Amino acid sequence: MSDLDDLRDSVRGFLDKHAPLRGDGDTWPRLSTELGLPGLAVAEAHGGSGGSWLELAVVLEETGRCLLRAPYLSTVVAAAAVTGADDLLTSLADGSTRAALALDEDVQVDGDRVSGTLAQVVDAPGADLLLVRTGGALYAVEGFEVEPLTTLDETRPQGRVVLTRAPARAVGDADRARDLLHLGLAAESVGAMRRCLELTVEHLKVREQFGRPLGSFQALRHRVADLTVATEAAASSTWYAAKAAADDAPHLPVAAPLAKATAADAFAQVAGETIQLHGGIGFTWEHDAHLFFKRAWTTRLMHGSSLDLRRLAYDRAH
Amino acid sequence: MSDFRAEVRDWLAEHLRGEFAPLVGTGGPGREHEHVELRQAWERELGTGGWIGLGWPVEAGGRGASVEEQVVFHEEYARAGAPARIGHMGEQLAGPTIAAFGTQEQKDRFLPGILAGSELWCQGYSEPGAGSDLAAVRTRATLQDDGWHVDGQKIWTSLAHLADWCFLIARTEPGSERHKGLSYLLVPMRQDGIEVRPIVQLTGTSEFNEVFFDDAVTAPDNVVGEPGQGWRVAMGTLAFERGVSTLGQQVGFARELDEVAALAGPEHHDAVVEAWAGLQVLRATALRTLDNDASSSTGVEASVSKLLWAGWHQRLGELAMAVQGPAATLVDGGLSPLQNLFLFTRSDTIYGGSNEVQRNIIAERHWGLPKDRA
């Protein structure tokens, strides 16, 4: 068993216990202090564990698997993208700073002040740090007001942020930050769709109709196989991008948007089929399927459509 | 560039010229009829250069090359436009099987010919009544004083008309059923008891054949593994299939995609982008499969990979026609390479385990879903 598998087991054990799908408690303090997860890929000099994106991708698969209700993705992407601001790195690594990312549109910059209206910022409610962009430059904003929004996906909060000459400092490369966000979204999606498949297969083994388990009908078995192929394709794309990030390889700007596009499309397919293959029970509020379905489409609709991301990757590669 | 990559590249540049120059870009799916005699000579050239059996263990006569080196070889081979191999069934299937399950005498007799590129092989598994259901084999063999006598019919036998030998499974225990009572035999192809008839495919060309065995004979020693244990040996052979050649195959895919993209107008740009993105997924999948440290192996990587690439390739064939529009429906002399791509890729989702069989493998082996009621 590899170190990555050990890491996966320990994170899964923790999240199974403390972050159930329907949980509403604040898991962030435990996740930060007991496991030190926010600092997983932060250098030891800044209080982190010095891990790589291969490890981070494994943890993100697990936080995706339980649709974690905490700003883990935003915070680790911020920690990986911020450069030249050691105070921020240290507080991101120990979990005392929670980040939100607004990397899909530009704000206006005037010296060390930023202005703009950010209509939908994931993880903004409760965030201490907001990363915004103008052109290729990444800026950190620490004082801002958030208007919480009601979201279709109750596990992933969003807020509206209006910045009016808010103090900001330049902290790195916005395109790299967005690449890492895409990679992180892909990893979360892979974990989530694996869980969907497990739930579906379990149902097909147990549920009997016409005197036999549903899973013995070839029409259904083949659909499970197709979903497995989509999931593994997403996992491969995500692994490839994570390895590029871990190796600081020049093809990350191609691999990351492709990973997000591949994984978001696959997740939407798998989550939709999870409802269908569960039949009526899958359509109920009580069943967990809709939580995954709503997360899948939120992932797919935000941070760049799949076609736009594939075009972006294609243009970057050619 | 690694020393090994440079070595491969230099050798190919040095040898794929002169008399072999016409071979660049020839052969392969739907085009196996091209330059057959010259490609046989090329196999011997490869053998002399020590490029056959690259990944075989040294004790079997190979080079014991690492997986990475084998991938490099396949990539460079494809990049150079070197011709499709006709010795691959010996190198990738028969040879490794004999090395793993054969006697010392069998290794001494058969492996050198494969490594030299001088003896070609074909695979006798499928039968008219045993396609996806391989265990339904009906070809039978009986051991008499002068050897095994084989009667029956095989089908979809690639390159049978060129092969010197056939490895096949036959029922050697009368009355046995399914996986039991089968033996793995090595049968010489050039004898009166064997007739090879080409199958004309929907491309109009032939590389598959029907092979009829009418009291064909092979020596008593030409059984690999114990008589009756042929299923186990045959499954071992299938496990050797696919793998390191995948990345080389993808170099060819990229070249085809370039040809399609060059003909695509603005209205097809997004479809080209989607195809290109799909090819990146295939590449990532192959690299992840070869990476020993990658976490979460499913055990059904070969089936996942087959479904992915076969589907992608088929869609590329359709796109190749779409970008040409109505003109793609006319034939000028013979099929164009892209028309051939379009037609031949219909077989990608059938041979080597159809999509339906691959889906069953994933459902059963990975997920443990119960078999469909017979």
Cα–Cα distance for residue pair A220/A133, rounded to 1 Å? 46
Domain identity same for B211 and B254: no
Domain ranges, residue B224: 121-230
Cα–Cα distance for residue pair B103/B125, rounded to 1 Å? 22
Reply yes or no on whether B177 is catalytic: no
Q: Using 50, 70 and 90 to split pLDDT, how confident is the model at A96?
A: very high
Q: For residue A284, is it left (φ>0), alpha (ψ between -120 and 50) or beta? A: beta
> DSSP class of residue B365?
I
Cα–Cα distance for residue pair A149/A160, rounded to 1 Å? 7
Average pLDDT of chain B to the nearest whole number: 92
Which chain B residues are within 8 Å of A221, Cβ to Cβ? 359-360, 363-364, 369, 372
Domain membership flag for residue B7 = yes
Q: The domain spanning residue B325 has which CATH number? A: 1.20.140.10
What's the topology of domain A176-317? Butyryl-CoA Dehydrogenase, subunit A; domain 3 (1.20.140)
- Asked if pLDDT for residue B109 goes beyond 70, the answer is yes
What is the reported pLDDT for B6? 97
| CB-nearest partner of A2 from B270, B293, B303 | B293
Which chain B residues are within 8 Å of A59, Cβ to Cβ? none
Domain membership flag for residue B96 = no
Cite the beta strand spans of A92-229 per DSSP E. 99-106, 108-110, 113-122, 129-134, 137-141, 146-149, 158-173, 208-209, 212-213
Q: Give A233→chain B minimum CA distance, Å.
A: 6
Mean pLDDT of B252-277: 97
A216 touching B (Cβ < 8 Å) = yes
Nearest CA in chain A to B373: A216
What is the reported pLDDT for B374? 52
Domain membership flag for residue B324 = yes
- Asked if pLDDT for residue A62 goes beyond 90, the answer is yes
- Asked if pLDDT for residue B104 goes beyond 80, the answer is yes
In the block, which residue shows the tokens 């799909």?
Answer: B278
ipTM rounded to 2 decimals: 0.95
Q: The domain spanning residue B15 has which CATH number? A: 1.10.540.10
Domain membership flag for residue B104 = no
pLDDT per residue over A128-180, tens digit each?
Answer: 999 999 999 999 999 999 999 999 999 999 999 999 999 999 999 999 999 99
Asked if B165 and B98 count as a contact pair (C-beta separation under 8 A), the reply is no
pLDDT top residue among B148 and B92: B148
pLDDT top residue among B92 and A178: A178
Q: Using 50, 70 and 90 to split pLDDT, how confident is the model at B239?
A: low
Quote the pTM value: 0.93
pLDDT per residue over B272-326, tens digit each?
Answer: 999 999 999 999 999 898 886 665 567 788 899 999 999 999 999 999 999 999 9
Average pLDDT of chain A to the nearest whole number: 96
Q: Where are the domains of chain A?
A: 176-317
Domain membership flag for residue B237 = no
Which is the catalytic residue, given B7, B210, B241, B364? B241
Which chain B residues are within 8 Å of A205, Cβ to Cβ? 368-370
- Asked if pLDDT for residue B242 goes beyond 60, the answer is no
Cite the beta strand spans of B140-279 per DSSP E. 140-144, 147-155, 165-171, 182-188, 194-198, 209-218, 223-224
Domain membership flag for residue B93 = no
Residue from A192, A219, A185, A195 nearest A300 by CA:
A185
Domain identity same for B199 and B260: no
Domain boundary among B86, B101, B131: B86
**What's the distance, CA A157 to chain centroid?**
13
Domain identity same for B51 and B82: yes
A12 touching B (Cβ < 8 Å) = no
pLDDT per residue over A262-274, tens digit each?
Answer: 999 999 999 999 9
- Asked if pLDDT for residue B327 goes beyond 60, the answer is yes
3-state secondary structure B69-99: HHHHHHHHHHHCCCCCCCCHHHHHHHHHHHH
Domain identity same for B70 and B138: no
pLDDT per residue over B217-232, tens digit each?
Answer: 999 999 999 999 999 9
CB under 8 Å to A113, separation ≥6 — which residues?
Answer: A165, A166, A167, A168
Lowest model confidence (mean pLDDT) among A71-80, A170-179, B240-249: B240-249
Asked whether the beta carbons of residue A313 and residue B277 sit closer than 8 angstroms, the reply is yes
- Domain total for chain B? 3
Regarding beta strands B182-188 and A208-209, do their DSSP bridges make them parallel or antiparallel, or are they unpaired?
unpaired
